[in-house]
Structure 1
C-alpha cells in the first residue's frame, strides 16, 4: 500500500506530496518462447495477458514455477534432479517476460516519477506503455537501475510495465566442481548457483527480477545516495558522557528539468539542522557535501557484547528556493568508528571500534535463501541467532552477493560487524589448477568478461550499503584478489572516494589479514576434529574459515529427507544414504562411538547433537584461550545454510537451531570459565571492556550417581579483554574419570551470588569412552512454564537433590494443536544439563498467535509436555 506523507513547514510553505511504493504483487509472466509480440506491443494495455502465470516479484523464474506447482521443491530429497538445468535446456527455457499493471497519474509541473530496480539477474529490457525505457540492454546482477518515467506515464493513470529478463551467459556447466566448470564467473553475478560443496546447482541460475521494484515521486530535484560518515576520536567507553563526534554528510542531487534550480540541501540529526546552499544545472547530477557537524555527547554504536547499538535517523531534504521540499531521504546510521592495527605478537590484523580492540568471533554467511526469497523477518531471525551465539561479526562470502540493506538493518540492530566480500572466489577465478574447470588457470584469472561492469557494480553497491554502522571490512574476494585492473581502482580510487572509513583487505585469507607463516591456504580445517585440537593446534592468527559438522536432529531431517532415506550413516561400513550424500553430508567419523554406537536414526541425531555442542564450544574456547597471544579472531565456516545441506550450520534452513548454536553460545560468552582438556587448566576469559571484580570460581566434580566431589572455591578477578589462568585440575580429573568418566562443573558467581558463567564438561574414562554416561540413571526433572506476556515464556526446570545429573536437555516450543515445532524460536539457553539440587530458568521468545506447549527431553530425562500457565 502506498504511504502518502504530507510535510508542512511551519513557515506555511507546503511541500510536494512524497510518494514511494513497491511493485510487489499482481505481476504475471510468460516464457519468451511462447510469445511472438515485441516489448512495445506487450507493454500496451490492449495486449492480452490472459493465461499468463502469476509471477513472484521480487523473485526468480524458479520461485515462480515452484509457487505455481510447475516444479517440485528443489530443497526436498532428490527433487532438484527432476528440474531441468539451464545448461541442458538452453537459456530461452528460463527467459521470461514479466508484466505489471499499475496506477500512477502523469504528474503536473516539475514533478517527476522514477522507476527503480534494485536487482535484476542478469540482463533485461524494460518497456512502459508501448515505449522502450532503457536505451541499451541492462547487464549485471549487482547494478541498480533508475529510470525517469515522467513522460511515459499515461494521463489516465493506467500503466503497464513489461520486462524481459535474460539469464546469465554463460550459464556454467554444473559438473560437480566448486562453481561447476567455473565459467559462471565470467558474469558479474553470484557463483554458487552452478553448485558447490554445500549446495546442488540452482537450475535457473536465479534468473529474474530478484530484488525490489519501486515507484518514487519527487519534485524537480531528486536526492540520491545520501552518505553519512561518523568520526569518533580517542578511546571510548560504552558508559558515561562522551566527547563530541564529527558528522560529515553528503548527497547527490539530480536535476532532470531544463532549468537551473537553486535551493538548500539540509539534514536533521538529533534535533539540529545542517544546511548547504546549492545550485544544480539543468540535466545534471551534483554531489554536495554539507558542513562538518559536531555531535555533542553522542550515543555510540557498539558491537554485540560490548555496549548498546544506538542508532540515529538522519533526514535529508532539498528545499527549492529554500522553501519547498522537493525530495527527502532518511538514513539510519550509528555513530562509531572502525580502526585496524597490526598485532605484532599474533602477526595479524586487530580490529577496534571506537578505540577499543575487539576479539573477533565471527561466522561465515552465504546468503539467506539460495533462491533469493528474502524477507525482513527471516533476516531478523537469522541475525538474532548469530547475536545469540555471542558472535560479533558476520563475513558475507564472495561467491554470493553484496547483502541487502535489510540484512544490514538487522546487523545494525543486533550489533554484528560485517566483513563484506566482493564477487570473486579462488575456486572459480583461478587461484588453483582445477581439472573440473573448463578453462585454464590463467584464463580464469581474468574473469569476469566485463571488468568495467564489475567496477560499475562495485561503485553502485558500495553506495547502497555504506551508511550501515555494522559494515566494518571490505574484502576483494574469497581466497583471491580481483584482477589487477579491478583491484587497483577499487582500492586506490573507488573505495577511498565513496567510503574511505573502513579497512579494505585484498582477499579473505591474505597475509595482510593474517600472516600465513604455517603454509597452506591460510584457513581451515573444515571437518570434525578432536576437541583438544582446537586448544593445542595453532592455526592462522585471524582465521577467516574454520569449522566442523552440523547435522540437525530427527525433526530437522524429517523436513527434507524422505522417510525411506532416513537411514543414518554408518562410519565403520562407510555407508551413507544417497539423499544424505546429495545434501552434502560431512562425516562424524569415529566421534559418535564414545557415546555409544548409534542404534537408529533418532539415536544418531541425538548423539550428533552432543558432538555438535562439544565441537563448537571447544572451537570458541580454544581460540579464546589464546586471545592476543596466538589469535586476534576467528570466523567459523560456516554458521548457516541457504539450502537444506547437512554441514556447517548452527540452525537448519527452516530456522530450527541445533546444539551447535548453544555450544558456540556457551564457549563465546563475554565472561567465560573453561577448562583446557589437555592440561586441565581452568581459565577465565573476559571479552568485555570492564574489569570483572569479586568473582567466585567454584570447581566441582560429579559422578554418574550425582555424588559431589567439591574441589575448591576461589575469589578472583580479571582485567578487561584478557585471559587469566587460575589452576589445573588435571591430576584429580584423570583419577576420578579413570573407570567411568566424570562430570566437571565450573561456575563463576558475582558478588550477589548470581551465575556469570556456568560450564559443565562430560569427561570420558581412561579409554576415551563415556561409559558412565551410557549407563546414566534416570533423572526426574520437574518442569513449569509461565507466560511472561505476549510471545515470551519462562520455563523453570528443577532437578532433585538425590537425582543424577540431568544431562543434555532440549526445551522445544510446540504448536498445541499440531504438535509441531514453532519456528523460529529464541531460547536463552538450550541443550543444557542440570546438576543435582539445581534449578534453571529458560526464557523462550517467539512470534506466533496459536496456543503453544513446552516440550522437554534429555539424555536421561523422559520426554514431557507442559502447558503454559
Structure 2
C-alpha cells in the first residue's frame, strides 16, 4: 500500500466539529491537567445491547459491570478481577484463552468512566487526550460520538476538544469501545508467531518470541494515559526545543555559549481571532513574539534563538553531570493572561555521529567528545504494559548502576513513554530508538513458521499511511528529551521502501532534524566488518577468551549470553515440583530441561556450570550460575573495551532486562531483583578500570573518561585457595582519555600457581594517595579448566555489620581477618525483618563481592522508604559462607 504523501507529510491537525485528531498531544505538562486513572468500569462488548450514544449517558445503568484497570489491557483487568491466573507464573499462561482461537470478540470491551468537569467559562477550552489505545476505538461523551470514524493505531494518540459536550451540571460520562488488532497472528512458536501480527502498526512480541510466550489478548485495551487538559482560548501544541553546543567541550569548567532554538504550534479553536504573545523562558532569558491567530486555525511559530551563556551541559552516564534546565513555552493573551503553557526539562547538549575509518563503524559524539557506547537492549518494561514511574526509574537506574551509557529500544515493541525518557535524562542513558518492525516478522529471512512469503511480509504493515502518521506523532512526543540520541527504522530490517524514503527525506528532516536516522539496527551504515557486511550476536554462553580475542562487528547492536537469576528469584515463578536443575550431556551437547524452565525460555549453560562441581539440585545450580553470569558479562564488556577505537566504537548487550519471567538475557529479573550479571557488568564497565585478558594474561587499563590519569599504581598479585599471597608486580602507569592501554602479562606466573587447584588473580589500580580506584578479583581455573580448589575451599571467617546512615540508606561492612581464606563471592540482600523476603527494588553500589584477607569492604544500599515501610534487615551469603542475618543498627 502506497503512502498518501500529502496527507501525512503536512502532519497538520484538522479543526472542526469539536474534533482535534491525533498528531498533536503535548509531550510536556500543560497548564492544567489531570489523569482519568481510577473508577473505570468495563464489560465484554458482545454482552452489551446498547450503543455508545446510550452508554455514555448518565441514565444508562452500569450495575453489574466489572472494575476496569485503566491505563491497562483487558488481560490486566481480568487478572486484577481474578478471572485468570497470573500468566507469568509456571504454566498459567497456557490456561488463558488465546485470541487466535477464541476470536477478537472475546477481548473486545467497553470501558466507561464517570468524571466531574464543569463546562468552562468564556473562551476557555477542555480537551480529552488519549495517549494510547490498542488497537481501534470509538469514543463517546455524554451521548455524543467524538471521532468521525473508527480510530485505528496503537501508537497514534487522540486529542478531542470536548468543551461543548461537557454537561452543564459537571457530571460527565465517557464510553470507549476497544477492539483488538485487526490481525492477531497465530502464536505457532515462531518469532512473532506466524508473523501476521506485523500487519498492524503495533507490538510484535505479543504473538510470542524466543524470550517470551504470547500475550493472550495481544495487549488490547486503553493501555496508556487518559488525560483531561484545560486551557484558555489558545493552546500551545508540540513545542520543539533544539540545543546546539558548538566545539569540543569538557564536563567541568567555564563553557562557551550554547544556542537554544524553540518552535511551537499554537491553536485557536474559537470563532474569534486572538492576538497575543508566544514566548519561552530559560534560565534568566526570555524570547517572545507577538502573533494573531485567525478563528479556527493553527499556526507553526519559530521563535528567535537564545544564546545561553556558560551553560551547564548534559552528559551521558560516566562522562559528566546530567544537568537539566526548565524551559517554559506559553501563550499570553492581549490582557497578559496565560492561556496555555508547556514546561519542558531541557538538557543542553549536542549529539552527532560520524564514520570511524579505523573501526569502520559509526561513532557517537556528545558535545564534541567521542563516547564509547556501552549499551543494553531493552524490550519493554512490562509485557502486559503495566507501566509506572517507579518501575521506569528503577530499571533505568539499574542501567546507570551498570555503568552503561545507552539503551536501545528494540523494534518489536514501542516508542518508549515520556516517563521512560525522563528517567534516561535523569540517569544519563542515551537512547537508540527503533521504529516498529523486525527482520523476523517483516521478511528478512525465509521462515517456515511464517504464514506469508518474504515478498508479502516485506510490505507489512498493511496501512502505510497509518504507520507514517503514527511515526510523526511519536516523534513529536519524545523529541525534546536530551537522552534521545538515534532513530532507527527497524530491528534488522528497513521499513518498506516508500516508508523509508518518507522518513529519510521528509519526516525526520522536518520534525527532528538534528538526530541521526539509521535505516535498520545492524545496517552497514552503522557497522561494517572485514567482509564488508554486518550483523549481530553471538547470543549464547561463550568461553571468556572469545569476548577478548574474537573480532566481531565493530558496532555490535546485539551480543549477549545467559541470565538465570538466583534461587530466591526462581521460586517466585517456578512451582516447587518443577524446581529441577537442567542436566547437561557433554556427549550430545544438549540439556535435559524441566517443562516450566523450557516454557520460560531457559537457554543452556552447557558445561560451564559443571566446572564448579556436579550440581546437587536447582538451588545449587542457580548459585553456581551466578559465578558464570558474573564472569560472562564482566568478560563481555572488558573484551569490547580492550579494543575500543581499534576494533569497536560500541557494543549493546542482548539483552539487559525481561518484561516477564524469562530465564535468559537479564541483569535483573521481572521483579526487579538483580543477579550477578548486573554486578559483573558493573565491574567490567567501570569508567576507569583495571582488567586482564584470560587468553594472553595481559593486564590492561581502560579509561572511559575525558581525563588523563597520571601517577597511578598497578598492583598485581595471586592468592591461593588458602589465602596465601604471591606478589607479581607493582608498576606506575599513566592513561590518556578514552583509551585502553596494555601493560604486562601475568600469564606465566598465574598458570604456575593455578595449575593444581586454581587461584585468584587480584588486580588493583591505586591513585597517588594509595587509595584503590579499581579492583578486580578473578577466579582462575586449574590446568584442566576446572575450579577444583573452589569445591573444597575453607569456610569464610568474614564478619558483617549493618547500620542505617540516612533515611533509605544502609551501609553493610564485611571484614575478613588476616590469615583467613578469601571471603569469596558474597551476596548482600536487604530484607524485610519480619518476613525475611527481599525488599525490591533496592540498589547496591556493588554486590557478589569478594573480600581479601586482612581487609574490609562496604556495600552501600539505597531504597525508597516510602515504598518500603517495614523495618529492614540484611542477609549475607557467599560461596564459602552460609547465609546469615544481620540486624540494621
Report the TM-score, using the length of structure 2 for normalisation: 0.95
Change in CA separation of 1:518 and 1:849 when aligned onto 2, cut-off 3 Å: farther
SS of residue matched to 1:527 = coil
Q: Counterparts of 1:668-707 in structure 2 under 5 Å? A: 668-707=685-724
Q: Deviations over 1:47-88 (max 9, x none)?
A: 000010000000010000000000000000000000000001
| Matches of 1:143 and 1:517, distance apart in 2 | 41
Which residue in the other structure is 1:637 paired with? 654
CA distance in 2, matches of 1:853, 1:798: 18
What is the deviation of 1:283? 1.1
2:808 to 785, 791, 808: 791
Shift of 1:517: 3.4
Q: Post-superposition shift, 1:319? A: 0.8
Correspondence for 1:831 among 848, 856, 867: 848
Deviates more, 1:443-452 or 1:312-321: 312-321
Partners of 1:67 and 1:830 in 2: CA distance? 35
* Contact 2:534–2:553 (Cα < 8 Å) also in 1: no
**What is the rounded CA distance, in whole Å, between the counterparts of 2:736 and 2:475 in structure 1?**
39
In structure 1, the residue matched to 2:105 is 92
Tell me, in whole angstroms, the C-alpha distance in 1 between the residues paired with 2:222 and 2:123: 30
What is the correspondence of 1:386-425 to structure 2 with a 5 Å cutoff? Answer: 386-425=399-438
- State the Cα distance separating 1:271 from its structure 2 match: 2.1
Q: 825, 842, 851: which one pairs with 2:871?
A: 851
- Tell me, yes or no, if the aligned pair for 2:591 and 2:606 is still in contact at 8 Å: no
Residue 567, structure 1, aligned to residue 580, structure 2: yes
For residues 779 and 644 of structure 1, the distance between their equivalents in structure 2, rounded to whole angstroms, comes to 33
Specify which of 616, 621, 624 is matched with residue 607 of structure 1.
Answer: 624
In the alignment, which residue of structure 2 is the partner of 1:732? 749
Alpha-carbon displacement from aligned partner over 1:477-524 (angstroms, at most 9, x marks no partner): 000000011011111111111111111111000000001434776100
Q: Which moved more, 1:278-287 or 1:121-130?
A: 278-287
Q: Residues 251 and 579 of structure 1: is their aligned pair in 2 closer, same or farther, counting only changes over 3 Å?
A: same
Aligned mates of 1:448, 1:393 — CA distance in 2: 29
Which of 270, 275, 280 matches 1:267?
A: 280
- 2:880 corresponds to: 860
Instruction: For 2:532 and 2:510, locate their aligned partners in 1 and report how far apart those are by CA, in whole Å.
Output: 36
Q: Structure 2 CA distance, aligned partners of 1:102 and 1:264?
A: 33
2:434/2:488 contact within 8 Å kept: yes
State the alpha-carbon separation in 1 of the partners of residues 31 and 783 from structure 2: 73
5 Å matches for 1:156-175? 156-175=169-188
CA deviation string 1:660-702 (max 9, x = no partner):
0000000000000001111111000000000011111110101
Instruction: Identify the match of residue 287 of structure 1 among 275, 285, 300.
Output: 300
Corresponding residue for 1:586? 603
Partner Cα separation in structure 1 for residue 591 and residue 431 of structure 2: 39
CA contact (8 A) 2:191 2:440 kept: yes
CA distance in 2, matches of 1:467, 1:165: 30
Q: Does 1:529 align with 2:542?
A: yes
- Is contact 1:264-1:322 (8 Å) kept? no
- 1:466 CA drift (Å): 0.2
**Across the two proteins, how many residue pairs are aligned to each other?**
853
Q: Deviations over 1:451-482 (max 9, x none)?
A: 00000000000000000010000000000000
User: Does residue 1:232 correspond to 2:245, yes or no?
Assistant: yes
CA–CA distance in structure 1, aligned partners of residues 142 and 739 of structure 2: 65
Give the aligned partner of residue 350 of structure 1: 363
How many angstroms apart in 2 are the aligned matches of 1:177 and 1:867?
A: 50
Equivalent position of 2:506 in the other structure:
493
Alignment of 1:428 onto 2:471: no
Q: Deviations over 1:158-203 (max 9, x none)?
A: 0000000000011100000000000000000010000000000000
Q: 2:784 aligns with which of 758, 761, 767?
A: 767
CA distance in 2, matches of 1:754, 1:117: 54
Cα distance in 1 between the residues matched to 2:417 and 2:71: 13
Q: SS state of the match for residue 695, structure 1?
A: strand
Give the CA deviation at 1:358.
0.3
Equivalent residues of 2:702, 2:739 under 8 A apart: yes
SS, match of residue 494 in structure 2 = coil
Q: Please, which of 207, 210, 230 is the counterpart of residue 197 of structure 1?
A: 210
Question: 1:574 Cα deviation (Å)?
Answer: 2.8
Unaligned runs of 5+ in 2: 1-29
Root-mean-square deviation over aligned CA pairs? 0.9
Deviations 1:638-679 (A, max 9, x none): 000001000000000000000000000000000000011111
Residue 508 of structure 2 aligns to a residue whose secondary structure is helix
Could you say which residue in structure 1 is the equivalent of 2:527? 514
- In the alignment, which of 706, 731, 743 is matched to residue 714 of structure 1? 731
Contact 1:808 1:858 (8 Å CA) reproduced: yes
What CA deviation, in whole Å up to 9, does each residue of 1:90-131 have, x standing for no partner? 101000000000011111210111000000000000000011
Q: Offset at 1:322?
A: 5.9
Matched, 1:446 2:459: yes
Residue 646, structure 1, aligned to residue 659, structure 2: no
Distance 2:418 2:193 in 1: 29
- Asked whether the 8 Å contact 2:406–2:429 carries over to 1, the reply is yes
Residue equivalent to 1:144: 157
Aligned partners of 1:811 and 1:855 also within 8 Å: yes
Preserved contact between residue 219 and residue 384 of structure 2 (Cα < 8 Å): yes
Is 1:468–2:481 an aligned residue pair?
Answer: yes
* Aligned partner (choices 117, 123, 127) of residue 140 of structure 2: 127
Aligned to 2:566: 553
1:618 counterpart (617, 621, 635): 635
1:3-22, aligned counterparts within 5 Å? Answer: 18-22=31-35
Distance 1:576 1:520, change over 3 A: farther
Match of 1:82 in 2: 95
SS of the equivalent of 2:564 reads coil
Match of 2:383 in 1: 370
Aligned-residue offset at 1:19: 2.4
Identify which of 297, 312, 323 aligns with 1:299: 312
Contact map agreement 2:591 2:604 (CA 8 A) in 1: no
C-alpha distance in 1, partners of 2:524/2:649? Answer: 14
Deviations 1:224-264 (A, max 9, x none): 11111000000000000100000000111011011111111
Partners of 2:188 and 2:449 within 8 A in 1: yes
- Out of 21, 27, 39, the position equivalent to 2:40 is 27
Aligned-partner SS, 2:465: helix
Question: Could you tell me how far apart the structure 2 residues matched to 1:414 and 1:579 are?
Answer: 36
2:493 corresponds to which of 480, 491, 505? 480
SS of 2:726's equivalent in the other structure is strand
Structure 1 moving runs of 4+ over 3 Å? 516-521
- Whole-Å Cα distance in 1 between the matches of residues 375 and 680 of structure 2? 14
1:325 match? 338
Residue 524 of structure 2 contacts residue 533 of structure 2 at CA under 8 Å; is this kept in 1?
no
Please list the CA deviations of residues 293-316 of structure 1 after superposition, one character each: whole Å capped at 9, or x if unmatched: 100000000000000000011111
Partner of 1:221: 234
Structure 1 runs not aligned, ≥5 long: 1-16
- Between the aligned partners of 2:714 and 2:256, the Cα distance in structure 1 is 37
- 1:623 & 1:18 partners in 2: Cα distance? 47
Q: Distance in 2 between matches of 1:846 and 1:571?
A: 39
**Post-superposition shift, 1:715?**
1.4
Deviation at 1:733, TM superposition (A): 1.0
- Report if aligned partners of 1:518, 1:540 keep a CA contact under 8 Å in 2: no
Task: Give the whole-Å Cα distance in 1 for the aligned partners of 2:95 and 2:270.
Answer: 53
What TM-score does the superposition give when structure 1 sets the normalisation length?
A: 0.97
SS in structure 1 opposite 2:584? coil
